Amino acid sequence: MKRYVYINDDESAHDLYCDNRISNRKYTVLNFIPKNLWEQFSRFMNQYFLLIACLQLWSLITPVNPASTWGPLIFIFAVSATKEAWDDYHRYLSDKKANEKEVWVVRNGIKKLIQAQDIHVGNIVWLRENDEVPCDLVLIGSSDPQGLCYIETAAMDGETDLKTRVIPSACMGIDVELLHKIKGVIECPTPNKDIRRFDANMRLFPPFIDNDICPLTIKNTVLQSCYLRNTEWACGVAVYTGNETKLGMSRGIPEPKLTAMDAMIDKLTGAIFVFQIVVVMVLGIAGNVWKDTEAKKQWYVLYPDKGPWYELLIIPLRFELLCSIMIPISIKVSLDLVKGLYAKFIDWDHRMVDLETSTPSNATNTAISEDLGQVEYILTDKTGTLTENKMIFRRCCISGIFYGNENGDALKDVELLHAVSSGSPDVVQFLTIMAICNTVIPTQSKTGDILYKAQSQDEDALVQAAAHLHMVFFNKSGNILEVKFNSSILQYEVLETLEFTSDRKRMSLVLRDCQNGKILLLSKGADEAILPYARTGQQTRNFIEAVEQYAHLGLRTLCLAWRELREDEYREWSLMFKEANSTLVDREWRVAEVCQRIEHNLEVLGVTAIEDRLQDGVPETIETLRKAGINFWMLTGDKQNTAIQIALSCNFISPEPKGQLLSIDGKTEDEVRRSLERVLLTMRITTSEPKDVAFVIDGWALDFALNHYRKAFTELAILSRTAICCRVTPSQKAQLVQILKSCDYRTLAIGDGGNDVRMIQQADIGVGISGREGLQAARAADYSIGKFRFLKRLILVHGRYSYNRTAFLSQYSFYKSLLICFIQIFFSFISGVSGTSLFNSVSLMAYNVFYTSVPVLVSVLDKDLSEETVIQHPQILFYCQAGRLLNPSTFAGWFGRSLFHAVVVFLISIHAYAYDKSEMEEVSMVALSGCIWLQAFVVAMETNSFTILQHLAIWGNLAGFYAINWIFSALPASGMYTIMFRLCRQPSYWISIFLMTAAGMSPILAIKYFRYTYRPSKINTLQQAERLGGPIVSLGTIEPQPRPLIEKDVSTLSITQPKNRNPVYEPLLSDSPNATRRSSGTPFDFFQSQSRSSLPNYSRNCKDN
């Protein structure tokens, strides 16, 4: 399919293609209600509640007033719908801002300022310097005489260097005025998301030059969201607009993220649902049997001899309704509420405000805070995430003399300054290479300052540093470079540029010194690309040492070298170079070969060391999080060496001999396979050694690994705690996330640039750094933070607390629903299995909505350990990662607890209120009071820190229960008239209540205390240490001991069924979660014995585990 774009044709294209209106909205005003309802009802829970609510309309089977379900249901739907509407409104606003941005567009031959949304395909759009490109354009003009323009594509691919774009040859040399009137046709593919390809043709209509078809490539385009830089103006024809731009096409709709915890809650809900069905079936059958045998004799019930056809269904359906409260309708509302608050706590956190820019942290996705506490893998971008993305020249070594070693800044090194001023030839030559051996373009600003526009930040740093040392590169006009050194101006003519490629790892310039006519070759490049080509006889040992020393400091090194060329040597080579440059087959390889012929016999001058400063606190953050059992992978588009250097400097990997870095490389499929297998083998052997083993892979090899050896690579991914992937594309980053996710790991992706967006969206949690590379990543992310170091607090404090709190809240919600449901079930055994509800409608509704939801909501303030303790002992995060606080086992504890409490409440109620006191309303209120008292004490027992709000909520709620019931008891029309007053006057009521409380809570207290003191979890131990005031020390000085050999036969990896991991027997704290999974077949004895020894019913309740 092709698209034909008629340039500057104001009529035809309007109807064919969409305008430039960007829309990220999900709803419109009209479809909001049906679409939203449809979406809400596609969730199982909601379908279930709707079914229950509908069944309740049938008065024959409903135990209570239908309002008790319809009310909360409508409320829940209203809340969800409002939230959706609110989000959509915000999307609308941000779209609107982009759509209404004003741009210059040619209309009827005149330049006009119109809104970006009114751009149509075929329009000519004018951009000025630093403008954002509003849609995909094909360039037709630029201020540059050679038709070049520079763009920054950071928002799209995250690369911060400037890229050159050139106008098509057909448009070359068209006068500015004529550009308004240009006509033609562009034949281009239908919209697609490939940002690296654009295969199109252009033909201009007469009178514009020739009639030939001019081919277009991606080099002739500027894409939406790029910025025009260093170019006064440029203009282009809109070819893709609105949501059809390449960026718009690749945006995609991010899938809604579901936390591991939500998945677990869903699973538990499913289990409860099955349990409910079983209960309903059993009771339904029992009820029908009782009805047919016993009820026929109970003459006062007047059962008809022959009932309607649905008679058999009535009793089961009644029980279904009676048991429907087993799945608490309030849990969704409560969870949404507390999740909103977790997000707010992140937004509000003062300790996560970036003071430099005063940017607070922000939780865009309010639903996934718990996942932060369960992160197992962090995939991080490098530039701008770990580093500040500011390159600074720090040290150098010139002819064996180290500068900048004392104060860490060569620019302030007196000796170097002295050497410069004294004009030492080596130093001057060194500075010359620094200043001109690059592709930097100097520009003069109006104030006379010289600004450098560099494609690479390293080159920028070198030129800046040279300028500081009085070697100022101030002008480049055509092939002539002008350098000012100590007030004398030097001119050089560039003869050839030997470009940098990642294979050659060096770049060179051949130039003529205009002062003396000599031809020079200036080279700079990686040590391994320069030092082997040193002049025979030159000692390079010094430089090797320097490189090593700098690399240890995490500095990026470049070696500088030069040599003089003889005139004839240059001539001869120049011919070959031209020839190579014009070959059609294997050009790159041929050029490299030719370059090689001249780049030898070099006089190595020295080594520069550039620092890409790490952000504050990065090594500490990585170390802390690593201690917390989180594995780090670094995914970067940068070079392998740089990546390794940064990794070394931020504790990412350890230097030899403690660490070992295995490299997977290869140019062909076969090489990659062999390399991969070798690494895998090494990795398997070394897992038993206390050694940091990491692997490093580049994008090329990764491509093979991902496409052909996925299984082996996945195995490697599981074995390796650390990995460095360099030169990876955005989609490879996303694929890597996908691999880890497919092994059922919780992944967090953190990045700052547009090239991280896909990875951020793909990962379970996406964190964006709102940094230098724009806000692209921050906008797509679930969380945006100002600095990498806030990640520590985000995970250890916010993630962990959120997990703990939700674990309690969700299980408690089930506990309280089950409690009242069990009582109803027990009651049915003494009411002829007929499905009578012991509790009245008001109580049932208020139980869920008021009595039990308020106290548990304040558990969002609960802190089991103080923030300082957690940061000091990050290992405690294992509890969250392994899901120790919410899993089927802890849930069984809560289930047992509710069963036990139901037995206590029910037995005491019916025995204390037997015979003459067995009035229905009274017994029901006694049982309900018992439930309320017990739940107040349960919440109190599970609360670790009581703020005033907790006290208010827990005890105030208890008082509120009586207040509400007294009000109902004062209304003559209510069924409960006078009941509560009567009860409160009876000593036996209070005696019964205290009995229920004591009988219900003592066993729990006893078991909890026993476990707390004699089988303490690490959390308990830390709590005790923290609160008894003793110093909490981590005895980290003991010599590392060899890691216990968990499983010798690592080849029986469980990667084939990673989903089967059993959350109960997660070995905890004794090893990493990786080891856990590897050894899932052979659980640790220690943990088995612990779980066996614990009592089944209350063993794994929330906090005392």
Partner 1 sequence: MMEPHSAPTPKKYSKKPKYSKFSQQELPAWKPILTPGWVISTFTVVGIVFIPVGLASLFSSESVEEAAIRYDDKCLNEIHAQNAVAFIKNDMTNKTCTTSWTVERKMQGPIFIYYQLDNYYQNHRRYVKSRNDKQLVNPASEGDTTNCYPQDKTNGSMPIVPCGLIAWSLFNDTYKFWVNTKSLTVNKKDISWGSDRSHKFGSKVYPKNFQLGGLVGGAKLDENMPLNQQEDLIVWMRTAALPSFRKLYGKIETNLEVNDLVEIVIENNYNTYEFGGNKRLILSTATWIGGKNPFLGMAYLFVGGVSLLCAIVFILLYVIKPRPLGDPSYLSWNKNPGILK
Just list the catalytic residues: 381
Q: What does 955-1019 look like in DSSP terms, one character per residue?
A: HHHHHHHHHHHHHHHH-TTSTTTTHHHHHHH-HHHHHHHHHHHHHHHHHHHHHHHHHHHHS--HH
Query: Which segment (81-89, 155-163, 294-302, 724-732) binds partner 1 by CB under 8 A?
Result: 294-302
* Those residues with Cβ within 8 angstroms of residue 141's Cβ, 6 or more apart along the chain or in another chain: 147, 167, 171, 174, 176, 179, 234, 235, 236
459 among the known binding-site residues? Answer: yes
Residues 356 to 395: which contact partner 1 by CB under 8 A? 358-360
Measured from the CB atom, the residue of 37 and 286 that comes closer to partner 1 is: 286
Residues 1041 to 1070: which contact partner 1 by CB under 8 A? 1041-1044, 1069-1070
Measured from the CB atom, the residue of 569 and 1047 that comes closer to partner 1 is: 1047
Note whether 995 binds partner 1 by CB under 8 A.
yes
Note whether 294 binds partner 1 by CB under 8 A.
yes
Find the binder of partner 1 among 924, 957, 1094, 1099 (CB under 8 A).
924
Query: Which segment (147-155, 295-303, 678-686, 1089-1097) binds partner 1 by CB under 8 A?
Result: 295-303
Q: Taking phi first (over 0 means left), then psi (-120 to 50 degrees means alpha), and beta for anything else, what does residue 122 get?
A: left
Query: Which segment (241-249, 416-424, 477-485, 915-923) binds partner 1 by CB under 8 A?
Result: 915-923
Among 965, 960, 935, 930, smallest CA distance to 856 is for: 935
* Total binding residues toward partner 1, as defined by CB under 8 A: 111
* E-only strand ranges, 144-273: 148-152, 162-166, 184-189, 200-204, 214-216, 221-222, 227-229, 233-240
Note whether 1040 binds partner 1 by CB under 8 A.
yes
Rounded Cα distance, 269 and 263, in Å: 10
What pairing do the DSSP bridges indicate for beta strands 450-453 and 471-477? unpaired
Residue 384 contacts residue 769 (beta carbons within 8 Å): yes
Please give the distance of CA 467 from its chain centroid, rounded to a whole number: 41
Measured from the CB atom, the residue of 315 and 737 that comes closer to partner 1 is: 315
**Stretch 749-778: interaction string toward partner 1, x if CB under 8 A:** ------------------------------
* Those residues with Cβ within 8 angstroms of residue 538's Cβ, 6 or more apart along the chain or in another chain: 603, 604
Find the binder of partner 1 among 374, 1023, 1074, 1099 (CB under 8 A).
1023
674 among the known binding-site residues? Answer: no
Question: Whole-number minimum distance, CB 1005 to partner 1, in Å?
Answer: 7
Find the binder of partner 1 among 30, 253, 1033, 1045 (CB under 8 A).
1033
Token reading at 1020? 């308990």
123 among the known binding-site residues? Answer: no
Local structure of residue 944 (DSSP, 8 states) = S
The single-letter code of the amino acid at 1090 is: Q
Find the binder of partner 1 among 78, 946, 1088, 1096 (CB under 8 A).
946
733 among the known binding-site residues? Answer: yes
Question: Whole-number minimum distance, CB 299 to partner 1, in Å?
Answer: 5
Question: Whole-number minimum distance, CB 1079 to partner 1, in Å?
Answer: 13
Note whether 919 binds partner 1 by CB under 8 A.
yes
Contacts 24+ apart (CB under 8 A), 1045-1054: 1045/688, 1046/1071, 1046/1075, 1046/1078, 1046/1079, 1046/1082, 1047/1078, 1047/1079, 1047/1081, 1047/1082, 1050/684, 1050/687, 1050/719, 1050/1078, 1051/684, 1052/1081, 1053/715, 1053/718, 1053/1078, 1054/1078, 1054/1080, 1054/1081
638 among the known binding-site residues? Answer: yes
Residue 475 contacts residue 481 (beta carbons within 8 Å): yes
Query: Which segment (327-335, 548-556, 572-580, 938-946) binds partner 1 by CB under 8 A?
Result: 938-946
**Stretch 237-276: interaction string toward partner 1, x if CB under 8 A:** ----------------------------------------
756 among the known binding-site residues? Answer: yes
Rounded Cα distance, 733 and 723, in Å: 12
* Those residues with Cβ within 8 angstroms of residue 1098's Cβ, 6 or more apart along the chain or in another chain: 893, 896, 897, 1003, 1004, 1007, 1008
Measured from the CB atom, the residue of 657 and 1030 that comes closer to partner 1 is: 1030
Helix (H) or strand (E) run with residue 522 in it: strand 519-525
Measured from the CB atom, the residue of 179 and 1007 that comes closer to partner 1 is: 1007
**Stretch 182-201: interaction string toward partner 1, x if CB under 8 A:** --------------------
Which whole-number Å values give the CA distances from 317 to 68, 818, 928, 1058, in the listed order? 17, 18, 24, 40
Rounded Cα distance, 739 and 693, in Å: 20
Find the binder of partner 1 among 303, 700, 962, 1087 (CB under 8 A).
303
Measured from the CB atom, the residue of 330 and 929 that comes closer to partner 1 is: 929
Rounded Cα distance, 451 and 133, in Å: 23
Note whether 474 binds partner 1 by CB under 8 A.
no
Residues 565 to 604: which contact partner 1 by CB under 8 A? none
Q: Can you tell me whether residue 739 is helix, strand or coil? A: helix
Note whether 972 binds partner 1 by CB under 8 A.
yes
Q: Can you tell me whether residue 453 is helix, strand or coil? A: strand
Measured from the CB atom, the residue of 76 and 858 that comes closer to partner 1 is: 858
Query: Which segment (173-181, 244-252, 587-595, 903-911) binds partner 1 by CB under 8 A?
Result: 903-911
Residues 31 to 90: which contact partner 1 by CB under 8 A? 63
Find the binder of partner 1 among 255, 1039, 1049, 1085 (CB under 8 A).
1039
Biggest CA–CA distance in the chain, Å, is 126
Residues 819 to 878: which contact partner 1 by CB under 8 A? 827, 830-832, 834-836, 838, 861, 863, 873, 875
Query: Which segment (16-24, 351-359, 547-555, 722-730) binds partner 1 by CB under 8 A?
Result: 351-359
What pairing do the DSSP bridges indicate for beta strands 377-380 and 747-751? parallel
- In the block, residue with structure tokens 């741009």: 103
Residues 110 to 139: which contact partner 1 by CB under 8 A? none
Find the binder of partner 1 among 78, 301, 414, 959 (CB under 8 A).
301
User: What number of other Cβ atoms are within 10 A of residue 573's Cβ?
Assistant: 18
Among 362, 363, 449, 434, smallest CA distance to 393 is for: 434
Residues 331 to 350: which contact partner 1 by CB under 8 A? 344-345, 347-350
Residues 602 to 661: which contact partner 1 by CB under 8 A? 627, 629
The single-letter code of the amino acid at 904 is: V
Measured from the CB atom, the residue of 522 and 1007 that comes closer to partner 1 is: 1007
Measured from the CB atom, the residue of 236 and 287 that comes closer to partner 1 is: 287
Token reading at 115? 């809104």
Among 236, 163, 246, 176, smallest CA distance to 202 is for: 236
Q: Can you tell me whether residue 733 is helix, strand or coil? A: helix
**Stretch 667-696: interaction string toward partner 1, x if CB under 8 A:** -----------------------x-x----
Note whether 999 binds partner 1 by CB under 8 A.
yes
Strand partners, 451: 443
752 among the known binding-site residues? Answer: yes
Q: What does 30-89 look like in DSSP terms, one character per residue?
A: TTHHHHHHHHHHTSHHHHHHHHHHHHTT-TTT-SS-THHHHHHHHHHHHHHHHHHHHHHH
501 among the known binding-site residues? Answer: no
Q: Can you tell me whether residue 918 is helix, strand or coil? A: coil
Question: Whole-number minimum distance, CB 648 to partner 1, in Å?
Answer: 16
Note whether 1027 binds partner 1 by CB under 8 A.
yes
Measured from the CB atom, the residue of 115 and 974 that comes closer to partner 1 is: 974
Find the binder of partner 1 among 30, 422, 1014, 1092 (CB under 8 A).
1014
Q: Taking phi first (over 0 means left), then psi (-120 to 50 degrees means alpha), and beta for anything else, what does residue 404 get?
A: left
Binding residues for Mg(2+): 381, 383, 752, 756
Binding residues: 381-383, 459, 500, 524, 556, 636-638, 727, 733, 752, 755-756
Binding residues for ATP: 381-383, 459, 500, 524, 556, 636-638, 727, 733, 755-756
